[in-house]
Amino acid sequence: MNRAIIIILDSLGLGASADAHKYGDQNADTFGHIVEACEAGLANNTQRHGPLKIPNLLRWGLGAAAVGSRKHKLPLATHLNVQGAYGHAVEVSSGKDTPSGHWEICGLPVPFNWGTFPQQEDCFPTQLMQDLLVQGQIQGTLANKHGSGTDILAEYGEQHLRTGFPICYTSADSVFQIAAHEETFGLERLYDLCEVAKKLVDPLNVARVIARPFKGTCNADFERTANRRDLTTPPMGRTLLDHIQDQNGCVVSVGKVGDIFAHKGVNYTVKADDNMGLVDQLLDQMKQVKEGLLFVNLVDFDSKYGHRRDVAGYANALEEFDARLPQIEAQLEPQDLVLLSADHGCDPTWPGSDHTREHVPVVFYGHHCGLPVQAFDLGERTTFADMGQTVASHLGLVSLNYGIGCQLN
């Protein structure tokens, strides 16, 4: 079996999809708006300044993919010395959430709507919260509303330390999140409480319960830790990951990928504190695993910068990742195919703090079925599943149930 590497730049959308108006995202464009903000000098901070500097990502084809998606120019040398096959993909799944995006990439679109909670105070059903108190053996909860993680900690973190009550909140996605102090509340206790919560929200068709541990002593130094855990409803069908394991191939999750698939089709998971740590883990796994799939999710783009509407931070993170691409290239072997994509958008210039309904990049680099990937435009793919189908072909697997493979050489 050959080797494939999928790198998800979590939330790096390439412009609003045709149905984005249904989600209130009609002019969202995560990558394009970051590029424009940098060019205008609106994304400067102590770590970066000026136009976006991502020469390696442009060489792979990311800029060319973005121009094809948004249909007009960007202030970048997008088509100079491109070495990868590039395009963009449209999501057919109903939502703009993390599981749906990842599953569709792996050949399993999600045609139904996940359950969500109303945009109001006390957004969770009364019976759900009563059952959580009894079955979770807690005396009370805080928040019970929509909010971003940073804002929620600022508003309720100190009260949590005083009372010991876990903080329960949600977003526009199908998710029930519980934040608690990693030391005073206890990490294992938080995980156990999330297990209880997942059973309680399953009848509501809620996709995920997320444990959000944090540390610190007050608002000034609260910080979420790397011990996040996503409890996800298992995929309702077979994915690329299952087909790889059918052929005795190895699937390695780098980051939260294993959680997203409820560990179905995953051999093992390695984690790290941030994007650069995850790149380190990928490089280490590339030395050890020579066949199958290395599947990486670089979550900081979404959780630290997209949701927090931090344009400068997002731009800096892209530049940091770009600087690591030569290290990844140096460890590629002649049978390797790399896919660079995203699972949804999260435009840091867009109002609110939620994901945005956008096209995602489709960038292939390396070798496909024994031949070098050629630099050309793959155009618009009508489903994320085309990416999984292409990877399946590279690995010599049977065809997935959805998607049309991309011609790369």
pLDDT at 166: 98
d(CA 76, CA 404): 30
pLDDT at 190: 98
Cβ 97 vs Cβ 355: under 8 Å: yes
Q: Which CATH architecture has domain 126-232?
A: 2-Layer Sandwich (3.30)
CATH of 3-110+236-394, one of 3.30.930.10, 3.40.720.10, 3.40.50.300, 2.60.120.260: 3.40.720.10
Any residues with CB less than 8 A from the CB of 68 and at least 6 apart, and which?
Answer: 86, 87, 88, 377, 379, 380
What does the chain come to in residues? 409
Cβ 11 vs Cβ 302: under 8 Å: yes
Lowest-confidence pick of 33-37, 166-170, 225-229, 307-311 = 225-229
Lowest-confidence pick of 77-81, 177-181, 388-392 = 77-81
Any residues with CB less than 8 A from the CB of 36 and at least 6 apart, and which?
Answer: 74, 75
For residue range 132-142, list pLDDT tens digits in order: 999 999 999 99
Cβ 214 vs Cβ 181: under 8 Å: yes
pLDDT at 369: 87
The band of 150, judged by pLDDT with boundaries at 50, 70 and 90, is confident
According to DSSP, the residues that pair with 365 across neighbouring strands are: 338
- The Cα-based distances of 183 to 209, 211, 215, 216 in angstroms read 20, 14, 7, 9
pLDDT at 1: 94
Q: Where are the domains of the chain?
A: 3-110+236-394, 126-232
For residue 305, pLDDT over 80 is answered with yes
